[in-house]
Amino acid sequence: MHLKSIIAPAVTVLCLLWAGGQGARGAVLWNEAVDGDLSGEFSSPQVVVATLGELTVSGTIGRNGNSGATDGSDADYLTIMLPEGLEIVSVSVQGYFSTEGNPGGGSFLGYREAASFGGQGFSDIDGWVIFSDDFPDLLPALEQPFLGEGDHAFWIQETNPSIVEYSLSFQVVPEPSLGLLMGFASLLILGLRKRR
């Protein structure tokens, strides 16, 4: 059996699985215009539970009258709880613009694999990135290939004298099942044996 004929069915299965995740209904995880300002307390972020599909989080940061940032401007702390069997494969910027002032090169997003942050220092986060409207995926900058089951805390803030509106999109898909991976491995082993 040719290697191509072994891999093609497995790739088809994986594509169908991916397409299923892409096609799943998305949802608004948090919209500050409707749900209110996200927590400004690093020790108690707003907790939300992720579901399958494309999930959006939108709001404003900076000098909008709320607090929590390292300079007293608005910061937004959010913890996404990922149930078993799901993973976040990308975090993209869907919208980013300033309604007041100049945020400079972008705004700060810190990440920690935990339910909350222990402080507002670099030792309190696992990764960070300055994001703006030209970011298709923040995960590589955070040095996270994907986010798996469990708690994921995000810290979003703008400390320049400005107000920024942002919208982030979290792509949540089913994690590859053990059965699928074992099936894929079996196909490969079977095919390699037949080639001998």
Distance CA 73, CA 20 (A): 40
Q: Which of 6, 37, 45, 111 binds Ca ion (CB under 5 A)?
A: 37
- Residue closer to Ca ion (CB basis): 30 or 184: 30
Residue 38 touches Ca ion, criterion: CB under 5 A: yes
Is 42 or 184 the residue whose CB approaches Ca ion more closely?
Answer: 42
Q: Does 98 bind Ca ion (CB under 5 A)?
A: no
Amino acid identity for residue 13 in this structure: V
158 binds Ca ion (CB under 5 A): no
**CA nearest to 66, candidates 77, 79, 80, 55:** 77
Number of residues that bind Ca ion (CB under 5 A): 7
Question: Toward Ca ion, which CB reaches closer, 21 or 45?
Answer: 45
Q: Do the Cβ atoms of 169 and 28 come closer than 8 Å? A: no
What six digits make up the tokens of 124? 């309190």
Rule CB under 5 A: say whether 21 interacts with Ca ion. Answer: no
Q: Per CB under 5 A, does 40 bind Ca ion?
A: yes
> Could you tell me the two tokens for 46?
């707003």
Per the DSSP assignment, residues forming a β-bridge with 74 are: 62, 68
Contact residues toward Ca ion (CB under 5 A) are 37-38, 40, 59, 66, 74, 76
